[in-house]
Amino acid sequence: MPPPAAATITVRATLAMLDGPKREIAEGVANDEYVFWLGSGISRERMPDLRDVAKRVLVTLQARIDQSDPSCRFKQALEGVVTLANPSPDEWGRIAFDQPADGWPDYEALAARLVGNYARMLDVPVDGEEADYLLWDVLDAANVYANPTIEPDAEHLCLAALAIEGVASELPTANWDNLIERAVERLAGAQPVLRVVVAPNEIRWNRLRANLYKFHGCARAAQIDAAQFRGLMVARQNQINGWSARNPVMAPFLTGLITRRPTLMLGLSAQDSNIQNLFAEAQAAMAWPWPSHPPAYAFSENALGIDQRGLLQNVYHLHYGPANRSAMESEALVQAYAKPLLLALLLFVVTAKLKRLVEIGSPGLAPADRDKLHDGLEHARNLVADGLNPNAAEVGDLIVQCGRAMSMLRGGRLPDAASGIYAPVTTEPLHRMPADPSLADSGVCQFAAAAALIGLGIDRGHWTATPADTTDPASGALVLTGRSGPAKVYFAATAQAAIRLGTNGLVADNDDVVIIHSHETPPAMQRYPRRAPGRVGLASVREASMEELLSAGTEVEDLLGRFRSKVAL
């Protein structure tokens, strides 16, 4: 059977979907309208999935059976677990409790059937043990899901970048792992970006740019302080059924999020009754109308499952009938799994912010010229997308490239671990950017215009672009190659940043480089240490001032010509 379309869709095709039929959802994310509801699917390639959980329960319980005791408590528990898989009489006949479970002929089939009954499986008691014995002891969940050797995957890195960009401020998750926290720490360093809420009293903590609500508990917290957090790890059917009653703080808080903001589900099947109940209670309090703009519910899936359809039926209630059902489901389905979707959303958000910066920095742009600059940014974005696969290595490299460019732009230096390897375009969502008084004079608006001109130049065939060599500190933000050959390109938002490019050893006087200044070009001075000669016959450092170029006219074709003359490629 071929893999589902949502798993094989390219980043470029996902972007085309976000530019087209799912544009309202993408723009909603860029405006920080959506609550990101996160499930085990975003950690599928890093953490055990439910089939692995079922297999571990079967194998471990069988291994603990005392074969000399016909009424062994572990055998009784294993029989209870197997019963939940609903074996046929023939399958029962092939189960040998005195043999390792992974050798049973129907081991795979039994484990697969237990996936839909995982919460009831973990509720099976073991005589003489605590109610969470299967979770805490058999699965060793705290240590398995907080394993520090497991690195964040592409999904976690993209979520961290979106959080740093200020467009993923609300993140409820049913996951126990701490991969999102580790991804944010890797990208943002010690900056206070992410608040993690596990216990009810933590709701009172100051909000940060992003807020992660681990409503099914946290493995790392339970590992550190079992007395407080072990009981908050939700897995058993009894816990799920009684979750709302036992969580008088978190339950209404999450219901409020559903009521106030649209929902984007990533890797979350919504099969648990407590999650379904939250959405039903939100509908009873204040239902979302249909249609809503942006859509009130969106699911990152290949196709909607019965639980997601049930959720739509709960939340849209009277509107969910034969006349609207198909349109509702089509609107809600985003046919891309979290890996390609989150990466495409990150590219969409960054590009949308750059477009807005072009508008803020050049309010007098004619609509046709504005659209050409926007097209240049989109062309550059699409080239990046064409070369990307949504895996951790390539996403990590993209984040390093972006972090380098923005850190050099603002400070004339490379990023460091303490301040984080990723620097956002802005920390505000799209709709709040025009109210930020610091943007107009920060140099980032002119940077956005320069990026747009570079994208237009690529589209017109004036030059090609390749990424910087991130292992070489003096490799620029990118490399442009024109008729005169390759040149490393740097951006400098201020004169101070430009000077620091030299004092930090990133540029030398005889390097073949282009420095694009946001404001005026600093006076010529011996500010760059020299290196061994590079190419000869060409001025080694070419400098262009975007402020000067824009002040001479914003008709894009003329502006592009003057820009080409300055960069001399």
Q: 160-169, pLDDT tens digit by residue?
A: 999 999 999 9
Q: Which residue type sits at 462?
A: H
Average pLDDT, the chain: 94
Spans of all domains in the chain: 31-47+152-336, 50-145, 348-567
The confidence band for 536, taking pLDDT boundaries of 50, 70 and 90, is very low
Tell me the per-residue pLDDT of 481-490, one tens digit each, with 9 for 90 and over. 999 899 999 9
DSSP output for 321-385: STTTHHHHHHHHEE-S-HHHHHHHHHHHHHHHHHHHHHHHH-TT--HHHHHHHHHHHHHHHHHHH
| CB distance 194 to 179 below 8 Å | no
How crowded is residue 453: how many other Cβ atoms within 10 Å of its Cβ?
Answer: 26
The CATH class given to the 31-47+152-336 domain equals: alpha beta
Q: pTM for this structure?
A: 0.95
- Please report which confidence band the pLDDT of residue 56 belongs to, taking 50, 70 and 90 as the band edges: very high
Backbone angles phi, psi at 115, to 5 degrees: -55, -45
Tokens of 184: 């944010």
Q: What is the pLDDT of residue 539?
A: 53
pLDDT 10s digits, 382-435: 999 999 999 999 999 999 999 999 999 999 999 998 889 999 999 999 999 999
105 vs 340: CA distance, rounded Å:
37
Q: For residue 368, what pLDDT is reported?
A: 97
Tokens coding 369? 């010229």
Alpha-carbon gap, residue 286 to 256, rounded angstroms: 10
Q: Which of 176, 179, 180 is nearest to 222 (CA)?
A: 176
Say if strands 464-467 and 478-482 run parallel, antiparallel, or are unpaired. Answer: antiparallel
